[in-house]
Amino acid sequence: MKDTHKHTGYITPPDYFQLFETDLKNRLSTQGLPKKPGYTLPPDYFEMVEGPIFKKISKKPKHTAVRPVAYIAAIAASVVLVVSLFVQKPSAGVSWQSLSAEDISSYIISGGIEMNTTDLAQLFKDEEINTLQNFTSTLNSNTLEDYLLETIDEATLETE
């Protein structure tokens, strides 16, 4: 058949005829399927939803300041302390090698070590604290925000 379109100047998007058949088949095969999934919502939901959103955005984000240096310092110091305890007084049957990072982490989280940030800061030399500060300053705010949203629940933020 003669390609009469050549005389009209009309053109098609690239691969149009190759894709047309696929598109048509897709439309035909989905014809018998429901067009809506059947979800509903509470009456007046869309009128009501704006209230909580405005309430939340009008709250100034609390400067939990999250004190990354303090947190990292706390964790690092706790690990150093645990290591030093085990190195100095090896208990029968327990060695540093036999402990996993998870064991140490659980020990710290369950309150096995009680120290405040001042105590922890004293364990570090100024240079070490500077190194930690340099490390945390390389974290960009989005990474930090994502991490916090993932790991800190609202209750914690409220109490901070």
CB of 138 to another protein, least distance (A): 20
CB of 74 to another protein, least distance (A): 24
| Residue 115 near residue 74, CB atoms below 8 Å | yes
Distance (Å, rounded) from C-alpha 90 to C-alpha 73?
Answer: 25
| Residue 136 near residue 72, CB atoms below 8 Å | yes
Name residues contacting another protein, limited to 22-51 (CB under 8 A).
22-23, 25-26, 29-30, 32-42, 45-46, 49-50
Task: Name the segment binding another protein (CB under 8 A); options: 14-22, 72-80, 96-104, 132-140.
Answer: 14-22
> Per rule CB under 8 A, is residue 155 in the interface with another protein?
no
| Residue 128 near residue 136, CB atoms below 8 Å | no
Task: Name the segment binding another protein (CB under 8 A); options: 18-26, 64-72, 74-82, 118-126.
Answer: 18-26
Q: Give the residue with the Cβ less far from another protein, 15 or 127.
A: 15
- 29, amino acid identity: S
| Residue 133 near residue 69, CB atoms below 8 Å | yes
